[in-house]
Amino acid sequence: MIRASVVGASGYGGAELIRLLRAHPEVEPVGFFSRTFEGRPLAEAWPQLSEGAFHGLERAIEEADVVFLATPNGVAMELAPRILEAGKRVIDLSADFRLPKEVFEAWYRMPHRAEALLSQARYGLVELHRPELPGARLVANPGCYVTAATLALSPLAAEGLIETLLVNAASGVSGAGRGAEGTAFAEVNEDYRPYKPAGVHRHTPEIEQNLGRVAAQGRWVETHGPARPLRLTFVPHLVPMTRGILVTAYVRLREALEESAIFERYRQFFAGEPFVRVTEALPRTKGVFAANTTWISLRKDARTGWVVVFAAIDNLVKGAAGQAVQNMNIIFGLEETLGLSAEGLWP
């Protein structure tokens, strides 16, 4: 059994980790830490849970083989060094180990205080990085929008087909975390709005980095391998639902390809992937609710030549906790799909 702990267990990513780790057949959860709820029943933070309690940070670290850090940006760089020194593994859901130091500092506006660890980190987008993940000690779990956008566009990037790229996306409110400002019911209900559009949102450089790596390295990607410069315009929106991300990406291709030929490339690229679904039917966020699946489709506008690619994920599962568990499975040599579902809940 793998002994697993969660730091940030009173947040939305933490709640989803508790759910998945408790149901995982090869995991013994040994510590759920929150500064606010330490020593108190889990039910005080999570009414859906009837058993268990929050523990102290020391226990969460000492008793674990792997510690999931579901904490705000800037926390993992403080905690990861001591967890790794204690011989444990770290899967970090924040942005602390996803980008080179100078890119991180420019976009996240804070100094990076664990620079020495950046070269050890492996980027945990399994569908592109699977070969380098077994045995990893420190995994940077990708951003939620980033996961959907990267998978939506990798088959095109891998063949150098992307000439111009606009990425439009919408996220449910849980994407901002439990304590986010401006997410009160009266603020978000019946409202649909863009935020941080066009070169401002922090996931922009991460998507560019991922697609640039795929463009340089092809189907399988190494975190510290080469990347081609690639630019895109990213426009996120907030949509009044709890979970889910839908990416709609507009691409001008370097080659004139028929829609069927593009579909064929997507099917080949993702052949055998347990958590990617490529269909003619258009994706819906509800179709991946609580699932670890990325659901992708596309259309070509025969009149204008634009290719439009769609991808739906559950931001808390494939966009966060589910992908983190998928990484844990690979790190420890377990079946990659253990404890995860490719099919979600409806309604």
Residues near ligand NAP (CB under 6 A):
7-14, 34-37, 70-73, 75, 93-94, 143-144, 174-175, 177-179, 315-316, 319-320
Spatial contact of 107 and 51, defined as CB atoms under 8 Å apart: no
Residue 238, CA distances (Å) to 8, 33, 148, 190, 241 in order? 24, 29, 15, 11, 9
* Nearest residue (CB) to ligand NAP, 168 versus 171: 171
H or E segment to which residue 128 belongs: helix 126-129
Q: Which is nearer to ligand NAP, 77 or 330 (CB)?
A: 77
CA distance to 61, 68, 293, per residue, from 327 (Å): 19, 11, 14
Our CB check for ligand NAP shows the closer of 243 and 300 to be 243
Q: Is 289 within 8 Å of 299 (Cβ atoms)?
A: no
CB of 342 to ligand NAP, least distance (A): 19
Question: 237 or 252, CB closer to ligand NAP?
Answer: 237
Percent of the chain that is helix, strand, coil (3-state, to 5): 35, 20, 45
Return the exposure string of 88-108: e unless at least 16 CB atoms fall within 10 Å of the residue's CB, then b: bbbbbbbbbbbbeeeebeebb
The terminus-to-terminus CA distance of the chain in angstroms comes to: 34
Q: How far apart are CA 231 and CA 215, in angstroms?
A: 12
When the beta carbons of 138 and 298 are compared against ligand NAP, the nearer one is 138
By beta carbon distance, the residue nearest ligand NAP is 11
Residue 327's H or E segment, with its range, is: helix 322-331
CB of 11 to ligand NAP, least distance (A): 2
CB of 127 to ligand NAP, least distance (A): 16
Q: 91 or 298, CB closer to ligand NAP?
A: 91
CB 197 → ligand NAP: shortest distance, Å?
Answer: 19
What is the token pair recorded at 203? 């996931």
* Min CB(220)–ligand NAP separation in Å: 23
State the Cα–Cα distance between residues 27 and 143, nearest whole angstrom.
24
Task: Report the nearest approach of ligand NAP to the CB of residue 161 (Å).
Answer: 28
Q: Which two tokens stand for residue 318?
A: 């494939």
Separation of alpha carbons 88 and 211, rounded Å: 31
Which lies closer to ligand NAP via its Cβ, residue 93 or residue 298? 93
238: left (phi over 0), alpha (psi -120 to 50) or beta: beta
Least spacing, CB of residue 91 vs ligand NAP, in Å: 11
* Active site amino acids: 144
Q: Which helix (H) or strand (E) holds 299?
A: strand 294-300
Residue 304 burial (CB count, 10 A):
9
Q: Which tokens is 181 given? A: 């400002």
